[in-house]
Amino acid sequence: MDSSLVILGSQWGDEGKGKIVDLLSPDYDYVVRYQGGSNAGHTVIVGSKKYALHLIPSGILHEGKKNLITNGVVIALEELVREMNKVKDVAKNFEGKLFISDRAHIVFPHHKILDGLAEKSKGKDKVGTTLKGIGPAYMSKYGRTGIRVADLMDPKYFRNRLESSMAEAKEIAEKIYGVSFNLNINKIYFQTLKLFEKIENLVCDTALMLDKGLKEGKKVLFEGAQGTMLDIDMGTYPYVTSSNSSALGLCNGTGVSPRLIGKAKIYGVSKAYVTRVGSGPFPTELKDSSGQKLRDEGHEYGTTTGRPRRCGWLDLVALRFASRINGMDGIILTKLDVLDHFEEIKVAVAYEYNGKEIKEFPASLKILEGCKPIYKTLKGWNVSTKGLKEKDKLPDEAWEFINLIEEETGTPVVMLSTGPERSEYIWIK
Ligand code: GDP
Ligand code: IMO
Ligand code: MG
């Protein structure tokens, strides 16, 4: 691969981005997380070891890579430091390996409290967030009351900002949710400064670093979090996350010009079926034994929250939409092995709404809820593809499945992933 590359989710998250970024990292100089926060849970399996990365880019497990957390990410410092300790055995020393943007915003305990209160007040209409404080942290950012990493360099300024941020959160809690909470501001203030000491030597202007690197011809691997259908602008709003988790988030999340970012290739990661955690529309969801079989075979339980994931057949209306929004050069199809033992495999190629066929993913939740998938039924391959390394050994039925995806999305499937391990993949283009 000679250019820079974007790896992002083309569904509702958990497509296997972490595994893919980890295995591709050796070919790149920089690995960059540019949006979201510790709501992400990217699993990387290396031999008998399993790493669940939430904030640190998945390139951290390789030697000699520069891993960047750029301005678009919201960082809970205690979680970042905890995660650094978890990868210490491989990363050893973080200097020269992990770089943290001075413009990234910080997630504070009051953001997590507000996340919980907002969810509770929504009752059955709750978003089903990860409760990591992501929405409230981005609200602070866009409301211009947020606190950035750079602000911690000036403890007096930080103290003032923290006082008003916490006062605001308290007022929201009391006046909107009728709940008062007690957080010890002194404790949070000193704890934050203590945590900051642990990462201070890693803080820099990551936008400048990336701009320079890209102009010098360095190869950058951008690691998306969440997925296109959870994008704040283009996803199934309001059942989305609070950042641009499609390719639309690349420029604002890195602070790099679209002229430079535009030169990167974009691959969307898609499972061979669909999963979703949290609430919101999911046209191909299966609530029957096939859904349970997908959950069992795919071990579909959340990396961040442990919640069972909702499962359903592959939705090519959504994938076609994701391919367009992201300008995808290719699809990386993961978890093909999970479909190994199905007699029949269904794939949604369109929706039916009020007797009409729809091929474009609708904005309206009401329309989405009334959409019934129009399926093409394919014969299952019924042999193991687990860990398959030779393209020629791929069963004909699996090729039919891949061809249908390419025809319907107009996007080539470039790689298959056939197991959670780093080595279980095959380039087919
Ligand atoms: P991410 O958030 O997109 O990085 O994905 P997650 O790590 O949250 O979820 C993907 C899950 O599937 C993890 O448990 C991975 O170890 C696992 N996984 C990734 N690729 C494959 C694959 O091709 N086959 C199987 N069986 N599991 C996979
Ligand atoms: P990765 O990077 C799957 C979902 C939550 C919820 C909605 C909003 O591992 O693919 P939030 O906490 O962001 O305010 O929750 O978004 N969500 C994810 N679902 N994978 C993720 O990340 C997710 N991050 C958030 O379940 O529905
Ligand atoms: Mg995940």
The CATH number of whichever domain residue 136 belongs to comes to: 1.10.300.10
Residues 233 and 310 both lie in one domain: no
Atom in ligand 1 nearest the alpha carbon of residue 9: 3
Residues 92 and 23 both lie in one domain: yes
Task: Return the residue whose CA atom lies nearest to atom 2 of ligand 1.
Answer: 14
Determine the pLDDT at residue 303: 77
Residues 308 and 414 both lie in one domain: yes
Active site residue 62: no
Q: pTM above 0.75?
A: yes
Final residue in a domain of this structure, among 266, 282, 297: 266
Residues 75 and 145 both lie in one domain: no
Task: Return the residue whose CA atom lies nearest to atom 15 of ligand 2.
Answer: 129
Q: What's the domain count of the chain?
A: 3
Q: Which of 202, 208, 165 is nearest to 57 (CA)?
A: 202
User: At CB < 8 A and 24+ separation, what contacts does 291-295 make?
Assistant: 293/342, 294/338
Determine the pLDDT at residue 91: 83
CATH number of the domain where residue 67 is located: 3.40.440.10
Domain that holds residue 58: 4-101+206-266
Residues 338 and 407 both lie in one domain: yes
Final residue in a domain of this structure, among 266, 282, 317: 266
Q: What's the Cα-to-Cα distance from 102 to each of 69, 148, 234, 267, rounded to whole Å?
A: 10, 7, 28, 28
Residues 421 and 339 both lie in one domain: yes
Residues 297 and 391 both lie in one domain: yes
Final residue in a domain of this structure, among 147, 176, 198: 198
Residues 293 and 220 both lie in one domain: no
Residues 218 and 74 both lie in one domain: yes
CATH number of the domain where residue 383 is located: 3.90.170.10
19 alpha carbon, closest ligand? 1
Residues 94 and 184 both lie in one domain: no
Query: Which of the residues in the chain have pLDDT under 70?
Result: 1
Determine the pLDDT at residue 2: 75
SS (H, E, C) 246-300: CCCHHHHHHCCCHHHHCCCEEEEEEECCEEECCCCCCCCECCCHHHHHHHHHHCC
Residues 5 and 361: their CA atoms lie apart, in Å, by: 26
Determine the pLDDT at residue 305: 83
What is the distance in A from the centroid of ligand 2 to the CA of 357? 30
Residues 190 and 212 both lie in one domain: no
Residues 22 and 71 both lie in one domain: yes
